[in-house]
Amino acid sequence: MADRVEDLAHAFERFPGIGPRQAKRFVYHLLTVSQSDRAKLSKLIEQLGADVRQCPECLRYWSGTNTLCNFCNDSSRDDSLLMVVEKDQDLAAVERANAYRGRYFILGGVLTLSGKGQIRERELIERVDRRIKNGLKEIVLALSATSEGEHTADRVREILEPLREHVTLSTLGRGLATGSELEYADAETLSGALINRKEA
């Protein structure tokens, strides 16, 4: 007889950041809730894909009835700017900052230094090509300041090289992050912060 506790624990172990012990805790938690609650969760998971879809333009996940997601559909946004991010959560962070009104494209991953990972190269080139004809002037490579992020930005720069006569490529500025102490900032962060100083 299948050991359902073990099977479900193994399924939860596939969740990001979840090991065997926490996976077991999830199962025991679910054992203590009502069958009705388990059924609700089950249904939400099963139907996650139902009307959550990928926007055909920026390739982020959203739920709605229009063909394009709200960011791609919004005519008030700036077509001269395209921001390339790794994943949906990064787009969410940028939107929360309320400081960008251009368009988006989700790479769907990062490239590790050891050669793993995948990004949507073909789709990116197709959109950039098309958008250049529609007024695109600058592409912001908004990757994390990690070695994977930089490696990925290098690759994107490489594949967009042929188009550099038509668009500017830019990366996010380095500087002091909120809450950080100057004493511990490394050389790259500090020189970025110095170059990027602004009138007080």
* Closest of 74, 170, 86, 82 to residue 133, by C-alpha: 82
Measured between alpha carbons, how far apart are the two ends of the chain, in Å? 70
- Beta carbon of residue 5, minimum distance to a second copy (angstroms, whole number): 6
Interface residue with a second copy among 19, 20, 47, 162 (CB under 8 A) is: 47
Interface residue with a second copy among 26, 121, 132, 151 (CB under 8 A) is: 26
**3-state secondary structure (DSSP) of residue 171:** strand
* Closest of 52, 73, 70, 72 to residue 62, by C-alpha: 52
- Beta carbon of residue 59, minimum distance to a second copy (angstroms, whole number): 11
Q: Does residue 15 belong to the site contacting a second copy (CB under 8 A)?
A: yes
Q: Does residue 20 belong to the site contacting a second copy (CB under 8 A)?
A: no
Residues of this chain, 149-188, that bind a second copy according to CB under 8 A: 149, 153, 157, 168-188
Interface residue with a second copy among 19, 20, 42, 116 (CB under 8 A) is: 42
Pairing of strands 168-171, 102-106: unpaired
Interface residue with a second copy among 75, 122, 165, 198 (CB under 8 A) is: 198
163, 137 contact by CB (below 8 A): no
104, 91 contact by CB (below 8 A): yes
129, 167 contact by CB (below 8 A): no
Residues of this chain, 79-138, that bind a second copy according to CB under 8 A: 85-90, 92-94, 96-100
- Beta carbon of residue 24, minimum distance to a second copy (angstroms, whole number): 7
83, 102 contact by CB (below 8 A): yes
60, 69 contact by CB (below 8 A): yes
Q: Does residue 63 belong to the site contacting a second copy (CB under 8 A)?
A: yes
- Beta carbon of residue 34, minimum distance to a second copy (angstroms, whole number): 9
Q: Does residue 65 belong to the site contacting a second copy (CB under 8 A)?
A: yes
- Please calculate the CA angle 16-57-151 and round it to the nearest 5 degrees: 50
Q: Does residue 57 belong to the site contacting a second copy (CB under 8 A)?
A: no
From the list 62-70, 72-80, 114-122, 126-134, the region that binds a second copy by CB under 8 A is 62-70
From the list 56-64, 67-75, 111-119, 128-136, the region that binds a second copy by CB under 8 A is 56-64
Q: H or E stretch including 127?
A: helix 121-133
